[in-house]
Structures are given as C-alpha cells and as structure tokens.
Amino acid sequence: MTRAVVLARHPEGAVVEQDFDVIEMPVGDCPAGYFRTRNRVISLDAGFRQWMTAGAGDNYLTGMQVGDPVQSIVLGEVIESHHPDYPVGSFVSARTAWEESSVLDGSDLCSALIVDGEIPLHQYMGILGPTGMTAWVGLHEIGRPKPGETVVVSAAGGAVGTVVGQLAKSEGCRVIGLTSTREKAQWLEAEVGYDRVIDRETQPHLANALSAAAPEGIDIFFDNVGGNALNIAMGQLREQARLVLCGAISQYESAVEPLTNSWELITKRARMEGFMFSDYVESFPAIAEDIRARLARGEVKSFDAVYHGIEQTPRAFCDMMHGISRGKCLVTLD
C-alpha cells in the first residue's frame, strides 16, 4: 500500500485542510515503458489552486476531480524501472501528484535530475527547480532588468517572490516588495534584501504607499497577485515599463477584479506579458547552473518552509496559499 492526498471536495473560496483526504491505496503496476518513484519532496505551488475549483480547466491543464490525487510537481527517486532513460537510483522531477509513490512514463514535465549531495534535496524543487526557473525566466526573459531600475514584486515573501527580489537586487536594481504583514515585511528587508516592503496590514492604501516608495515610478512590476494590486501598479509606471504577469493569486479564491488602467500602458509605451515557466524547459540546465553559481557566491539564498510527511501536505498548501509560510513551501517524505 502507498498513501496519497486526494481532493475530498472542490474548494470554495479560501482552501481549507478539509478539502483534502489522506488515503491508502494499492501500489499500481509498473509496465514496460514506465518507472516507479519513491517520492522524496513535494512542491506546493499556488498555481494548482486554480485547477482545484469545480469546473476548472483551461488550455494548460484539465481541472482536478474529486477523489483524484492532487496534481503537483514532485521530486522522486526511481526504485523500479522499465524505461531506459530513468534507471533505478536516478532522480526525477515531474508533474505528478501528492503521493508517496508514482508510476511515470517520462512525459508531463518529467526530467532527470543530477543531484549534488552537498545541496539539500528539497532545493531542487525550490530555488534550483520550478520556483527558481519561474523567477529567473520572468525577470530576465520578460522583465529584462537594467541596473538602477525600480522593480516592484508582489507576493514578495513567497517562493517566487523571494527569488525574484534577490535576483533583481543582484542586477543592481532598487527592489520594492508587496506582502501581507509588517512582520513579513521586516523579514524581507532584513533577511532577503528587499530595499523596501509595503505590507497590507499597516499600509492598506497601496496607491499612496507605492507612490511614496517609488516616486519616479515603476520600471518592472513582477506580478504574482493580479487584481487590484496590478491595477494600481499599472497606474504608476515609468515610460518603457515592463509588467511581468507571473500569477494572479488574489483572484484564485475570489471574484475576478477588473483592470481599469490600461490607457497608462499606452501613454507609457509599456509592455505587459504573461508567461508559463514550462515553455522554457530547454533553458533550465543553464538557468539552474546560473542560480547554483549565485548560491555558491552567496549572492542569493534559499528561503524554505519545509514540512514533513504526506499527512502535512494539506496544511502546508493552505499555509502557503494564505501567507503563513515564508519562502518556498515544501513537504519532504523521508
């Protein structure tokens, strides 16, 4: 038998632990062309909340069904193999599910991982994995920062936000974060290296706080949040600004808010562009190498909230969604 977390019901509004069940299930067959993993690290990714809602599903992924293991990106160690590319003892990263063991065929964002024993395994799901790739691609490929520019990052205290802030800082930018609480803001300034952080707790009027923090306007808005925060940022751009649409977490659990400041993009000659990190798979080895070198130089750090055991996965996911965890939220299964 093995254990998995299934969707007990479709979340309505804020996701809660009761939306999930931990179940035991029989170990499935592993036929020719497939391999079996013992899963070691589960990545908790906000984007998957989108596909938990009843009737969800789009051009990127189908919606999750009640009773099915919850989709996620997972790091696994191959323990049985009938696939030439994934021998026993190797490590893989794949989009599979919150489960202790998976049977895979090498498709669906599956790639072999060369693991360095000096690096904590969970970092391959965080700063050296999908999170780091997302931050790097969004900032460098879409945002294209230049020294001296002002970069504003929403959900600054989360997985992607902590990496983007550090990367932008190392490019010589002035980096401003948006977050939930004053405590998190202080941590982001003191530990992560943000120049200034605006929190919703003590500075609820974002437009005023942002114009005070960036009086010359914003060059790059790296947006993880969407809705009202994005709309306000759209109204405070410098000429030739770039808006990097990475995520829209404020809209995943509530009604979609309208964007009314699009005229500003025209007069400021701004560019607004969305992206999916998975479109840049071929660049991942080079990006991972760049981030590894920055980690070794001490230019960036990995900030992780690590939970232990499959039964902690629902709590970890809810904590991540609602700003309780800091940095990258992960579950280890050792």
Ligand X SMILES: NC(=O)c1ccc[n+]([C@@H]2O[C@H](COP(=O)([O-])OP(=O)(O)OC[C@H]3O[C@@H](n4cnc5c(N)ncnc54)[C@H](OP(=O)(O)O)[C@@H]3O)[C@@H](O)[C@H]2O)c1
Q: Report the nearest approach of ligand X to the CB of residue 35 (Å).
A: 26
Told to check if 235 binds ligand X by CB under 6 A, we report: no
What span, in angstroms and rounded, lies between the C-alpha atoms of 318 and 52?
13
**Residue 72 in contact with ligand X, rule: CB under 6 A:** no
When asked if residue 11 is in the footprint of ligand X (CB under 6 A), the reply is: no
CB of 323 to ligand X, least distance (A): 3
Residue pair 225/243 in contact (Cβ under 8 Å)? The answer is: no
The H or E element spanning position 182 is: helix 182-187
Asked if 288 is part of the footprint of ligand X (rule: CB under 6 A), the reply reads no
| Stretch touching ligand X by CB under 6 A, among 52-60, 108-116, 211-219, 271-279 | 271-279
Nearer to ligand X, 76 or 247 (CB): 247
Q: Is residue 100 near ligand X by the rule CB under 6 A?
A: no
Which amino acid is it at 283?
A: S
Quick one: 71 or 224, whose CB is closer to ligand X? Answer: 224
For ligand X, the closer of residues 87 and 208 by Cβ is 208
Stretch touching ligand X by CB under 6 A, among 1-9, 82-90, 91-99, 152-160: 152-160
Cα separations (Å) of 88 from 77, 83, 106, 224?
8, 10, 14, 38
Pick one of 95, 174, 184, 242: the residue that binds ligand X (CB under 6 A). 184
In the complex, what is the shortest distance from the CB of residue 81 to ligand X, in angstroms, rounded to a whole number?
A: 29
Chain position carrying tokens 């991972």? 288
Interior CA angle at 249 toward 247 and 251, to 5°?
110
What's the angle, vertex CA 180, arms to CA 177 and CA 186, rounded to 5?
A: 60
3-state secondary structure 275-304: CCHHHHHHHHHHHHHHHHHHHHHCCCCCCE
Instruction: Name which of 69 and 247 has its Cβ closer to ligand X.
Output: 247
For residue 161, the minimal CB distance to ligand X (Å) is: 5
Asked if residue 330 lies in contact with residue 41, where contact means CB atoms within 8 angstroms, the answer is: yes
Centre a 10 Å sphere on the Cβ of residue 128 and count the other Cβ atoms it contains.
25
**Which tokens is 176 given?**
């401003």
> CA 20 from chain center: how many Å?
21
- Tell me if 40 contacts ligand X by CB under 6 A: no
- CB–CB of 55/12 below 8 Å? no
Closest CB to ligand X among 151 and 329?
329
- Would you count residue 5 as binding ligand X (CB under 6 A)? no
DSSP 256: P
CA dihedral 40→46→51→57, nearest 10 degrees, is: -110
Nearer to ligand X, 12 or 239 (CB): 12
Binding of ligand X by 314 (CB under 6 A): no
Under the binding rule (CB under 6 A), the answer on residue 176 touching ligand X is: no
Q: Does 246 bind ligand X (CB under 6 A)?
A: yes
CB of 286 to ligand X, least distance (A): 17
Pick the binder of ligand X from 102, 179, 302, 312 (CB under 6 A). 179
Pick from 276, 281, 286, 293: which binds ligand X (CB under 6 A)? 276
C-alpha 280/C-alpha 276 separation (Å) is 8
Binding site for ligand X (CB under 6 A): 45-47, 131, 134, 155-161, 179-180, 184, 224-225, 246-250, 275-277, 320, 323, 329
